[in-house]
Each structure stands twice: as structure tokens, then as C-alpha cells.
Amino acid sequence: MIELPIVKKEPHNPKPKWLKMEIPIGENYTRVKRIVKENKLHTICEDGRCPNMGECWGAGTATFMILGNICTRSCSFCAVATGRPGEYDQDEPRRVAEAVKLMGVKHCVITSVNRDELPDKGASVWAKTVREVKKESPETTIETLIPDFRAKWDWLYHMLESKPEVVSHNMETVEDLYRLVRPQAKYTRSLEQIKRTSEFGLRTKSGAMLGCGENDDQIKKLMYDLLEHKCDILTLGQYLQPTKMHLPVAEYVHPDKFKHWEEYGLELGFKYVESGPMVRSSYHAEKHVF
């Protein structure tokens, strides 16, 4: 009789009850999905597998993702496809503006993939998109969740001249985990970008994921560094592994701990802190225009 080898299963790390997600339903959800599809647009809600898509789309809001849906970087946490992007769609800014107008969005959030292969890193498309939205919907406020432009500061300023109400750039994680989580990014470069944005005169925002293996002292350092570099708004949320090919979850952080970090951040001096397991950078973004 042949004995089969014993295969050890990897320990299962089930999601706790506080991470239960609602199934996307409702008339507004269907309407937003139709508008996005008809205008041939991308959203980080879909491409990034955001857990709040049902809630946000049900409320008639979405985070548009410009410059295509293929990123030139390969962050270990992100579900967006990595590869060599094709030519960007020069009509995209107009279609984003049209979709915002059709949806009647009061506060519009725009993000993008990294386009490191472009000479301006996509800054001119960013500026054009913001201006088109403002032209079509002058009452709509805008938050731009931008990449780091590889420290090409002239292009950053070109984008900032379009004057969005909030400029967000996510740190994503603590400094000691950058090589693991964001191998093609630099902690100091992202901090410098936030500082330059603030000195330009615009409201600044950043976000990070918890549960990647960081400790309390590293989180505190991240907060101190952000405040030192003039960040106004901070968001903290639970990291969720999008596929088995991505970074595994090290810890599911309890909601009470998120509440602790919210209170701690406000005491330190952030003007607004959004902290909770389901929080993402664009979650309740309309509250961050103050």
C-alpha cells in the first residue's frame, strides 16, 4: 500500500465580522454603473476592488481613474493591472467632465495609474481633466489623488495650477515597509510632494493601510512625518489582500484601535482624520472640503 504524503494547509485567516461588505444594489448604483460604462471610463472603485463601491455608487458618487487602467508600477497591495500602457485617450478629460455633469456630483474624486513612461508622468492630462470638470460643473468641488510624478516638480506644479480643492497623495504604509509594499516609490519623495503641495497653497491629504505588518511606533512616526510635511487630512483603513498573488494580511486591526488612531491623530494636529476598517482614501471625501 502506497502512503500518500501529508500536505500541510496554510493557516486560514478569516475576515472578522466587522469587515462584512454590502452587496452593491439599488437604482443609483445601476445608474452610476451605466454612466461610467457609456462614457468608457475607468474607476478605482472597480479596478481597485474597493469594498465601499456599493455604498458610494448607491449615493451617486464614484472615483474616476484617468490615464487608463494599466499601471507602470507593481505595488504588492494593489489590484490594478501592471504592465506597459498603450497610448492614453486624449478625449478622456472631456468624458470624465461629461460623466460628472450627468451624475450631478457635488464632490468629484479623480485618481490615476502611474504613467512613468510619459515625459510629464501624465501631469498635463491631470490638469486638463480638472479644468474640464470645473468648466462643465463649476459648483463641483474636486479632490485629486495623484501619483508622485517621480519628483518632477515642474510637472507637479503644472497640475496644481488647475486648482483642485483637495490634493491627496497616499503614503500607503510606514517607512520601514516601503520596499515590501511600494518597491518603486520613495517615502521621502512622497513626503516632499505633500509639503510642496501645501506650500503651493492647496489643502493636502494622505492615507495609509494598516494590517501590513507595521507596529504602533512606526504608525506614530508616519503621523509625525506627515504633520511635519504639512499634511492636513489623514485616512487610515484596513489592508485587504485583493488576490493570493498579493501581499498577505498580517493583521485585522480592530475598530477600537482605528478609533484610537483617529483620536491620536486629531490630538497631534491633523485637521481631519478618517479612521476605520472600511475607510479608503476617497471614502466620505466630501467631508474633507472644509
pLDDT single digits (tens) 72-120: 999 998 888 889 888 888 899 999 999 888 888 888 889 999 999 999 9
Reported as a pLDDT band with limits 50, 70 and 90, residue 167 is very high
Contacts of 121 (CB under 8 A, 6+ apart): 114, 115, 147, 149, 150, 152, 155
Contacts of 188 (CB under 8 A, 6+ apart): none
Find the CATH number of the domain harbouring 202. Answer: 3.20.20.70
Asked whether residue 7 is domain-assigned, the answer is no
Lowest mean pLDDT among 60-74, 124-138, 162-176, 194-208: 60-74
Structural domain that includes position 31: 24-288
Count: domains in the chain: 1
Q: At what angle do helices 255-268 and 216-228 cross, to 10 degrees?
A: 30
Contacts of 83 (CB under 8 A, 6+ apart): 70, 71, 72
CA distances from 142 to 43, 54, 86, 103 (A): 15, 21, 27, 14
CA–CA separation, 16 vs 2, rounded Å?
41
Asked whether residue 71 is domain-assigned, the answer is yes
More confident residue, 114 or 17: 114
**pLDDT score for 2:** 46
